[in-house]
Every structure is written in C-alpha cells, then in structure tokens.
Amino acid sequence: MEQIFTIAALWLGLAVVSAVVAYHLRVSIALVEICIGMIVASVAGYIGKAEALGSNLEWLRFLAASGAVLLTFLAGAELEPGVIRTKIKEVTVVGLIGFFAPFLGCTAIARYILDWNLQASLLCGVALSTTSMAVVYAVMLETGFNRTEFGKGILGACFINDLGTVIALGLLFAPFTYKTILFISTTSVVLAILPFSSRLLTRFYAYRTAAIRTKWVILVLFGLGALALWSGSEAVLPAYLVGIVLAEFSNGDAFWIRRLRTLTVGFLTPFYFIRAGTFVSLTAIASAPIIFLFLLGGKVLSKIFGLYPVIGLFRRKHDERWYYTLLMSTGLTFGTISSLYGLSRGIVTQEQYSFLVAVVIASAVVPTLIAGFAFLPRHLLPAPDEQRETAPRESGLNEEG
C-alpha cells in the first residue's frame, strides 16, 4: 500500500506541475501532461529507473482507463442538440469531410510511403483523422466564439468528425462475433432508455441522495465499457455515444456537469495523459524525423485540401474559412486514445506509436497558433458586454481544466 500511495503522489505531483505550466503557456492541460510524461519517461529510462514510474501497474492502468472513459463521455455531453438541428447540413458535411480526408490521406502515406502494414496504416488513418474537441472548445471559450453561430458550427462539426473516428475505430479493429452482436444490441437498448431513466432517477432522488447522478452515469459507463471489452472492442467507444445521448440531460444542470468535470480532469485524466506520454520514445522520433514530418504534413494538408473548399460553401470570408479549417485540423484526445488502443492491442509498434502521438501533439499546437495569430475573424467576436455575461461560467470551466 505504501508503494501505491508513493507512486500516486508522484503522478499527481507531475499533474500539478503540468497544470502550472499549462496556465502560464495558455495551452491545453492534456497537451502538457503528455509532454511531461514523455520527458519523465526519457529521464527515468536514461538513469535505468523506467519501471519505478509504474506505468503498467494494474491499478494505474484502471485509473487511466477510467479517465479516458469519463473524458470521452464529457466530450459527447458538450454537444448542444440545437446546434446540430439548426446547422445540420454544415456540421454533417464539414464533419464527414474532416474525418474522411485525413483518414484516407494518412492511411495512404503510412501504407505506400512509410511501408507500414495494412492494420498499422488503418490505425494511423484513424488516429490522425480526429479533431481536438478539448483544444477547439478551449479556444471557443477564450475568444467567446462558443456563444456565436460561427463557433457553434465549428463545435458541431468537431462532434461529427470525432464520432466518425469512434465508429471507425470500432468497425475496423473490433472482431465481429456473437459477442459483438450482443454488445451492439445491449448498447442500443441502453441508449434508447437512458434519457428517460436518467430524468426519472433525477426527479425522485437528485438533491436528496449524495451524488446519485454521478454514480448512475459512471455505472452505465463502466457497465457498457466492460461489455465493450468483453466483445473485443474498447471501453471509450460506448462512452462517447452515452455522452451524446445524455447531452441535453447534462446541459440541464451546469453545476453537476462541472463537478463531474472536476473529478475527471482533476484526478483521473492526468493518469491517462501522463501514462500515454511515458510510452513515447523520443529517441525513435529523433532518429527518423522525416517520418514525423510526413505524417504531420499528411494530417494537416489533407485536412486543409479537403475542408477549405467545402467550408467555402458556408463561410465566404477569407479569414473565416482559414480559421475554421485550421481549428478542424487540430488533434489531441481521440488521437491519443486511438494510438494507445493500437499500442495496447499490438496493432502498432512502440516506435510507430511514438510517431503518432508526436504528430497528434504537434497538430494540437501548430494549426491553433497559426489560426489565432493570422486568421482570427475579429468581426465575429462577441461584444465585450456579451463576453462579460458568460465570464462566470467560463471561468469555472477554465479553473477546472
């Protein structure tokens, strides 16, 4: 037990350092946690103490997996159903192109230029097809675009893009057996009755029984996660769907979802992102930087060439189109989840995993910085009075993130 508390204290210490660095650099906390994990693992490996980090301990793997599941649920729960209904054509077209363009482009690069096997190439395409909901949402809050129709359109397109990634990960790599049929049918039934049952539970027991909604949601996520793993799939796949189905329910109580976000980001996700970083081999990246550049260029350029003309159908101004396109070119959370899924299942090697995560990190930073400095559509920024009205809510989110 002493060893468990010691290792947990070490990892949470790294999480605190990551939070301080992220605050001063004004970047996503997840991005910094991955980088901290990479640095610490490299130092530990250099002095021969890699095992002391405990990255493969069973309890730490459980905490990391729990963080991934709850974070995926929260990403789905951020969906505003009204946005999808009012901008259905825009978010669907942009989201699907945002998925398929890099999926096909990066798969082709990995298969025919880098000579990866077919499974690894497909995993590469899935991992680099994502758009970072965490990064985009943080940018929307910081600028105030989350309260404009422009920003809501970008967020809606991100959801469709990432939903395509989640579905592709399940369809391409989960074995199809009778277990798969049971998993799909059970999940469908649960998703169908979940909104009604959650509201019923809330009506009778919320505010009377300690945190029953949180316990209920985690019960559903862990139950479907266990079923997904039993069927040969991944626990995060049903979590995103549960989040989407419960989006309206979750958005009905901002304080509840904020507390759940605090639990997830404050305690669980540091174990996931720091652990993901510890598996990255900086030596492998340094030895073959051309592979990194090929994959990064493949992700960003395929997004740009696929999305820029399509976004032009909905946004006519030059800066709006480029800003929209570059934010859709980011990647982080689902890219990391997909990459780690591939490593844990033996689909990619640790060297290939290192390249994928490095590209995911770079894609979270480079397009975001270019978009903010060169193409910010200032004419669409909300008035100062409107931003002040949303400040308390946004400040709470930023404190927790």
**Looking at the chain, how many residues does it have?**
401
Mean pLDDT of the chain: 86
The residue ranges of every structural domain in the chain are 2-400
Q: Are 177 and 232 in contact (CB under 8 A)?
A: yes
Residues 353-382: tens digit of each pLDDT: 989 988 988 888 788 888 888 898 988 888
Could you name the CATH architecture of 2-400? Up-down Bundle (1.20)
- String of DSSP letters for 14-44: HHHHHHHHHHHHT--HHHHHHHHHHHHHHHH
Name the pLDDT band for 12 (thresholds 50, 70, 90).
very high
CA pair distance 234, 212, nearest whole angstrom? 26
* Residue with the larger pLDDT of the pair 215 and 143: 215
CA pair distance 226, 355, nearest whole angstrom? 30
Both ends of the chain: CA-CA distance in Å?
A: 30
CA pair distance 395, 401, nearest whole angstrom? 10
What's the token pair of residue 126?
């899935």
What pLDDT was estimated at residue 127? 93
What's the token pair of residue 218?
């985690």
Burial state string for 206-217 with b = 16 or more CB within 10 A and e = fewer than 16: beeeeeebeebb
Mean pLDDT score, 170-193:
89
Angle between the 318-328 and 149-173 helix axes, to the nearest 10 degrees? Answer: 30
C-alpha to C-alpha distances, 220 to 1, 246, 257, 318, nearest whole angstrom: 29, 11, 16, 45
